[in-house]
Amino acid sequence: MEKSAKIYIAGHRGMVGSAIHRKLVQEGYTNLVLKTSSELDLRDQHAVRAFFEAERPEYVFLAAAKVGGIMANNIYRAEFLNDNLLIQNNVIDSSYRSDAKKLMFLGSSCIYPKLAPQPLQESSLLTGLLEPTNEPYAIAKIAGIKMCEAYRSQYGCNFISVMPTNLYGPNDNYDLNNSHVLPAMIRKFHEAKEEKREFVELWGSGSPLREFLHADDLADACFFLMQEYDEAGFLNIGVGADVPIKALAEMIRTIVGFEGEIHWNTDKPDGTPRKLMDVSKLHALGWKHRIELEEGIRLTYQDFLEKQEIYAV
C-alpha cells in the first residue's frame, strides 16, 4: 500500500479497528477514511453505497461487526445474524462497485465446527456442525468468507479473508452482559478487589482451552498480509498455543491483585472445548506474534485502569 493511498477502516472505534488504525498511523499512513456508526450505518445499503461512491477508498479493512460473548451470542441470535450479514454484504459489494484495489475481511475462529480436529486448519471449514451458542455469528462470518471468494471468482476482486483467534487489548468491551471471557475476568477480578469480596464466580468448569492474541499483534498481521497476501483462501491468525480457562483466570487474578477465591459455576455453559488455530500457513509467510499472554494482560489491565469511567457500563 502506497503511503498516500486512501484507506477505509470499517469499525475503527472497536478493539480490532482501532488497533489497525494505530498501526497505520504508526507506519506513516495519513489518508485514512474513518466514520463512526452514527455517521454511517453500515447496515444501510443506500448510505454505504453513497459513501463508497463519494470516497472511493483504494483499500478497505472490514473490521466492523456486531460482537459479544457466549451469553450475547445466544440471546441476540437474530441480531447477530442479520446485522453482520448486512454490514459485510454492503461493504464488500460497495468495495467492488467503487473499484477498491483490495479488501480484507476479518472473521472469527468460531467459523470452525465445534468438534473439528485440533489445531484448527483452514481446510476444516464446513466439515461439521457449529457450536450452537454462537452459530448465527459464525454463519454470518462464513458467508463473508464465501462472498469474498465469490467476488474474486466472478469479478476478479482482490478480496482476502483472515480468521483471528480470541482477541484482547485496548478498547475491548468490558460490559459483563456481552463481553468475551478475558475482559470479563479483568473487570470481575478488579471489582472484587475494590469491594474486598471473598470470591469471584466464573462460568463453566474452567477446563476449555483457549488461544489469545493481542489486538496490536493482530493489527501487525493484518498490515503484513494486506501487502504480502493475495490468495483466494482465507488465513488463520493466532499464536499457535492455548491455555486452560482456569490458568487464564489465575493469571488475571494475580495481575489484578485479587486475593479471594474463584468459584466455578458448572451450571453455566463451557462453549467449545478447544479452539486452537493452526497458524503454519501464516508462519510460512514470515509473520509471528510478538506479545506474550502475561505481558499482554498487564498492558490491557493498565488500559482498563486508565479508562475505568468509560468501561464502567
Q: What is the DSSP string of 49-94?
A: HHHHHHH--SEEEE-------HHHHHHSHHHHHHHHHHHHHHHHHH
301 is catalytic: no
List, in order of start, the domains of the chain with CATH numbers: 7-171+212-240+276-292 (3.40.50.720)
Which of 137, 168, 229, 301 is catalytic? The answer is 137
Identity of the amino acid at 274: R
For strands 32-33 and 59-62, give the pairing: unpaired
pLDDT at position 309 is 67
Q: From CA 257, how far away is CA 192, in angstroms rounded?
A: 10
Say yes or no to pLDDT of 88 above 90: yes
In the annotated binding site for NADP(+), the residues are 11-17, 106-109, 141, 164-167, 180
Tens digit of pLDDT for each residue in 58-72?
Answer: 999 999 998 876 777
Q: φ, ψ for residue 24 (rounded to 5)?
A: -65, -40
Q: What percent of the chain has pLDDT over 70?
A: 97
Identity of the amino acid at 94: S
pLDDT at position 307 is 82
Tens digit of pLDDT for each residue in 172-224?
Answer: 988 887 778 899 999 999 999 999 999 999 989 999 999 999 999 999 999 99
Instruction: Tally Cβ neighbours within 10 Å of residue 287.
Output: 20
Angle, in degrees to the nearest 10, between helices 77-97 and 45-55: 30
In the annotated binding site, the residues are 11-17, 106-109, 141, 164-167, 180, 188, 203, 210, 270
Could you tell me which of 42, 50, 124 has the C-alpha nearest to residue 85? Answer: 42
